[in-house]
């Protein structure tokens, strides 16, 4: 299969028109992300199963028809390991996929292996060893060489037989709908509320509610700064420094410089702003402080309860014919335990009590929760 380079508006429209007739579209993206907050869009690979296109987003003036097409629920959209691809497309075009399949998720659900790389899947299905020598290409540099373009094209060229093999086995084992449901859940993009950015800061659980109020203001400022400059969060100021600032709350440049977690360059660039943010945050009324952050290890008898619930999930996964890693991760076990400890709000169900997992084992898990009440 050869490829067509798309570097004009009309070529893009022609590509979209041809793809409208297909029952599936196979996608991949290439980007650069080293110091930036968001992936920098370098290339979009598209196939309808017969033709492969390499769309150059740096050359096409208006991508809005592309975003409108990608937003359509049909046809089925297929990626491999779509996490960063979806982040890029969400940032660039606010694309929210629903009818979507991730071949990495499908392979895991079938027991082929958790977190399988694309090269391993291609070798298993096609007996072809992919050339990965261009994986560190600067996809923003122009012109791209023929070898780089072929490398990019191969990512969707071989995605077709891989996806077809996986879909056939999923349907044969009665897991196709469950896989689509799982992929749709993982594909859902949500914009984190700016006031909740502090929850992403590591070790925030060490802080009191008053200190968390300070951290909340610092984390919101950091994200806004990173967004405006398109800088990775850690290049604005590191998590360790944010926690130290919220904990010790320096009120002068001298005390600010005494914090070992804060580098001299961070003090020089942001010192005055940080002091003002801290001073303002200290005035926040107690009724507006965030709740303390609890960890799952704080749950009474956490280890034994976690082990017991995982044993149940292993049985449920076996009954459903899926690997336990696809049915219940440690994180999802923890989510159930924390949900119970915090009051079992039905408006905020954990993943194990939703969608295809609910069909498999919701009754059994709810019974386990009744029999194992958190104190």
Residues 305, 321, single domain; the answer is yes
Residues 45, 178, single domain; the answer is yes
Residues 141, 198, single domain; the answer is no
pLDDT over 70 at 374, yes or no? no
Residues 60, 176, single domain; the answer is yes
Contact indicator for 70, 44 with CB cutoff of 8 Å: no
CATH code at position 328: 1.10.150.80
Confidence of residue 69 (pLDDT cuts 50, 70, 90): very high
Residues 203, 179, single domain; the answer is no
pLDDT over 80 at 291, yes or no? yes
Question: Any bridge partners for residue 41, and if so which?
Answer: 31
Task: Calculate what percentage of the chain has a pLDDT beyond 70.
Answer: 99
- Rounded to 5 degrees, φ, ψ at 63 are -90, 5
Residue in the structure block whose two tokens are 């923003």: 140
Per-residue model confidence (pLDDT) at position 307: 96
pLDDT over 70 at 245, yes or no? yes
Q: Which residues are catalytic?
A: 28, 30, 85, 151, 155
C-alpha pair distances (Å), 246 with each of 53, 210, 281, 295, 340 = 50, 9, 10, 19, 30
Contact indicator for 162, 149 with CB cutoff of 8 Å: no
Which domain-ending residue is among 244, 261, 288?
Answer: 288
pLDDT (tens digit, 9 = 90+) per residue, 137-185? 999 999 999 999 999 999 999 999 999 999 999 999 999 999 999 999 9
Q: CA-CA distance, 106 to 361, in Å (whole number)?
A: 20
Per-residue model confidence (pLDDT) at position 192: 84
pTM of the model: 0.91
Residues 200, 281, single domain; the answer is yes
What domain range includes position 308? 296-371
Q: What average pLDDT does the structure give for the chain?
A: 95
pLDDT over 70 at 372, yes or no? yes
Residues 15, 47, single domain; the answer is yes
Which domain-ending residue is among 187, 203, 232?
Answer: 187
| Structural domains counted in the chain | 3
Residues 309, 280, single domain; the answer is no
Per-residue model confidence (pLDDT) at position 344: 83
pLDDT over 70 at 105, yes or no? yes
| 328, 329, 335, 338: CA torsion to nearest 10 | 100
Per-residue model confidence (pLDDT) at position 136: 84
Stretch 26-30: mean pLDDT: 98
User: Could you tell me the two tokens for 120?
Assistant: 């391993």
Task: Calculate what percentage of the chain has a pLDDT beyond 90.
Answer: 90
């Amino acid at each position: 299969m050869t490829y067509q380079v798309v570097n004009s508006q009309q070529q893009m429209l022609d590509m979209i028109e041809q793809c409208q007739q297909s029952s599936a579209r196979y996608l991949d993206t290439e980007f650069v992300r080293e110091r930036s907050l968001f992936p920098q869009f370098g290339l979009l690979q598209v196939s309808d199963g017969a033709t492969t296109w390499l769309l150059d987003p740096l050359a096409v003036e208006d991508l809005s028809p592309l975003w409108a097409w990608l937003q359509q629920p049909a046809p089925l959209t297929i990626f491999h390991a779509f996490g960063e691809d979806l982040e890029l497309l969400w940032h660039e075009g606010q694309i929210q996929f629903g009818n979507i399949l991730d071949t990495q998720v499908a392979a895991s659900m079938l027991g082929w292996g958790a977190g399988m790389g694309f090269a391993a899947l291609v070798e298993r299905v096609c007996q072809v060893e992919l050339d990965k020598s261009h994986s560190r290409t600067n996809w923003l540099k122009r012109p791209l060489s023929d070898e780089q373009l072929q490398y990019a094209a191969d990512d969707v060229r071989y995605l077709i037989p891989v996806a077809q093999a996986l879909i056939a086995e999923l349907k044969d084992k009665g897991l196709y709908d469950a896989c689509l449901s799982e992929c749709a859940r993982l594909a859902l993009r949500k914009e984190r509320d700016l006031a909740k950015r502090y929850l992403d800061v590591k070790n925030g659980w060490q802080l009191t509610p008053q200190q968390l109020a300070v951290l909340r203001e610092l984390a919101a400022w950091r994200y806004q700064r990173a967004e405006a400059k398109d800088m990775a969060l850690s290049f604005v100021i590191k998590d360790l420094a944010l926690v130290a600032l919220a904990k010790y709350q320096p009120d002068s440049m001298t005390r600010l410089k005494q914090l070992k977690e804060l580098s001299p360059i961070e003090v020089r660039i942001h010192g005055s702003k940080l002091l003002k943010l801290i001073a303002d945050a200290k005035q926040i009324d107690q009724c507006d402080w965030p709740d303390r952050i609890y960890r799952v290890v704080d749950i009474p008898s956490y280890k034994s309860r976690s082990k017991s619930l995982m044993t149940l999930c292993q049985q449920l996964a076996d009954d459903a014919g899926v690997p336990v890693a696809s049915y219940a991760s440690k994180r999802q076990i923890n989510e159930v335990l924390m949900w119970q400890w915090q009051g079992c709000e039905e408006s905020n169900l954990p993943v194990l009590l939703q969608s295809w997992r609910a069909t498999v084992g919701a009754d059994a898990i709810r019974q386990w929760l009744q029999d194992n009440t958190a104190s």
